[in-house]
Copies of this chain bind each other. A is one copy, B any other.
Amino acid sequence: MATRYVWQQIRDQLTDDIRTGRYPIGQRLPTEAQLSTRFAVNRHTVRRAMAELAAEGLIRVRQGAGAEVVQPRLNYRVGQRTRFTDNVAGLQRKGEKRIVVSETRPAEPHIARTLKLRSGASVHQIETLAEIDGQPFAYTRSSFPAARLPELRTAFADTLSVTASLQACGVPGYRRLWTEVTADWVEGPIARHLGGSASGHDTAQGRVAVLHTIALNIEDPSPQGSGQPAKGAAIEYCEAFFRADLAALRIEH
């Protein structure tokens, strides 16, 4: 059996204390001096255990203000094939998605340009709120070329899945071409949907801190000899606003 160092034992004990609610989210941990006394070790050993908890995202240590227990972030995988359902399954958490907006409208110019549509062409715009374990996690706004996918909104209402509704519209596969990521604030309706207990919620201004992604999805190239173009057409312009306090994006290169 591998030796467990004292600092590891303390780390594990504190992890248990956090998981079981002895130190709930939002609360401050006891000071280093108090923990030294509790575990009958020197401060250096306590500090090492705390550094580990911080690296694992269970606590946040602030200069001069001690350590605060924080909600661990969800590692959301982003790759060529990123699916909300798969991601949530991987996290072993309960995910739900609901439609907030579903409409067909002229594409905004930058969206038309990215999707390579003529100016003013229609897109289906579908906005959803994703919750994990009952907590708002991400607000997503997707635009799909309407002429190419006339039945998409119906299919999406039935399935709540981009993958399944694209398949229903004759697009068997798609992949992500690029993703742009910024750290931002949102206001107005999206902030209200995401708000709740967000620790990045600036209540005075009604803003919520988000990790903001814009991604372009294209059809998978068709099999050779199918008579379809080899390079896939743009099929979805997808903008997502993840709660900054809850989400970490994990990119596998």
Contacts and interface: CB of A to CB of B under 8 A. Distances in A.
B187 A62 contact: yes
Given A79-B253, A253-B176, A253-B177, A210 B183 contact: yes
Contacts of A108: 51, 55
B180 A209 contact: no
Copies of this chain present in the complex amount to 2
Interface string A223-249: 000000000000000000000100111
A222 interface: no
Interface string A78-95: 111000000000000000
A178 B251 contact: yes
A48 to B, nearest CB: 7
A182 B51 CA distance: 19
Nearest to A176: B253
Contact of A248 (B79, B182, B249, B253): B182
A102 interface: no
Contacts of A181: 181, 211, 248-251
A243 to B, nearest CB: 9
A109 interface: yes
